[in-house]
Amino acid sequence: MHNSEKSNVNNDVIPVRGYLLTEQVNPNSLNLDQLSSVELVELFNSEDQKALAAVAAAKTQLAEAIERTAERLHHGGRLFYVGAGTSGRLGVLDAAECPPTFCTPPELVQGIIAGGAGALVRSSEDLEDRAQDGEAAIAQRHITQLDVVVGITAGGTTPFVHGALNAARQRGATTIFIACVPAEQVRFDADVDIRLLTGPEVIAGSTRLKAGTVTKLALNILSTGVMVKLGKVYGNRMVDVAVTNQKLRDRALQILQDLTGLSREAAGFLLERSGKWVKLALLMHWTGLEKDDGDRLLSEHQGNLRAAVASHKNNKLP
């Protein structure tokens, strides 16, 4: 604990957080209120470059998080994001985008935010101070040793996140800690410790800015990397896309046309025969298998299209 972390005001113990990197004053924006609109844009653009550098600096830890998470999900586990305020909203957003992009069941990737669903649209940052609520959220979701829990806290100190991660670790879950402050400022014992250091914000302490941007980048990489490892893409195509509206149907048809050379009409017929599953449609086209046989072959290879096609070809060799 930092030696200036607490002070006593009106008999309440209040954390002193000014020493944190995310709370410090940015020397590049001291005259923020005097800048023209163009100068404001230029300043933000310059500062936001630091988010890319922060991700690059954490590449080893992000890669480890992908590997560990994919391994757990491959064996039936789930991925949970836990956070409060902006961090919590970003976790919920990333979780919500997995089903339409990768056709995952909603329970596979879940977001937990302090204050629940209401906190998504209304500030409830006071609830982040309750470590016991984080512990309760883990218990309510019956976290096990198969699961992965990612705690997201820009300043690294959020009690709700600490409580959730500690409870998850006690249950044997894999824990990942994401913060935007260096380890020497806030230490936390997690299986993977990811530090995304973007420096002081343009508006001091407003971590919805660079810290929020770099967190979104990191979560994009984590969830997408995991889905790639789980066989949810072929090349760089989202072959597990959920065909639930006209835009996604058009995307599905375009993937089929690009990868098979079929006309749009033929691609549409193939898509319908597959039950509107692009991955299965491609397998059927490339192997000549019917829907049920193709489905079984994919299941045998844990949904990995490339492996399923290769297996079929090898089995056909004399």
CB-CB contact of 175 with 165 (8 Å): yes
Helix axes 59-74, 37-57, angle to 10 degrees: 60
Residue 298 token pair: 């994919």
In the set 64, 67, 71, 97, the catalytic residue is 97
Length reported for the chain: 318
CB atoms within 10 A of CB 236: 6
Write down the residue that tokens 């590997």 correspond to.
67
For residue 138, count other CB atoms closer than 10 A to its CB.
24
Give the whole-angstrom CA distance, residue 66 versus residue 102. 16
Give the pair of three-digit tokens for residue 62: 């992000």
DSSP H or E stretch at residue 6: strand 6-9
Residue with tokens 């056709």: 103
Is residue 128 flagged as an active site residue? yes
Q: In sequence order, what are the beta bridge partners of 80?
A: 110, 149
Report yes or no: 195 and 58 within 8 Å, Cβ to Cβ: yes
Please identify which of the residues 47, 128, 135, 201 carries the catalytic annotation: 128
Q: Which of 192, 169, 182 is nearest to 64 (CA)?
A: 192
DSSP string computed for 283-317: HHHHH---HHHHHHHHHHTTT-HHHHHHHHHHHH-
Q: Do residues 252 and 276 touch, judged by C-beta distance below 8 A?
A: yes
Q: Is 97 a catalytic residue?
A: yes
- The CA-CA-CA angle for residues 12, 159, 227, to 5°, reads 165
**Distance (Å, whole) CA 196 – CA 182:** 8
Q: Which of 49, 82, 243 is nearest to 166 (CA)?
A: 82
Catalytic (active-site) positions: 97, 128
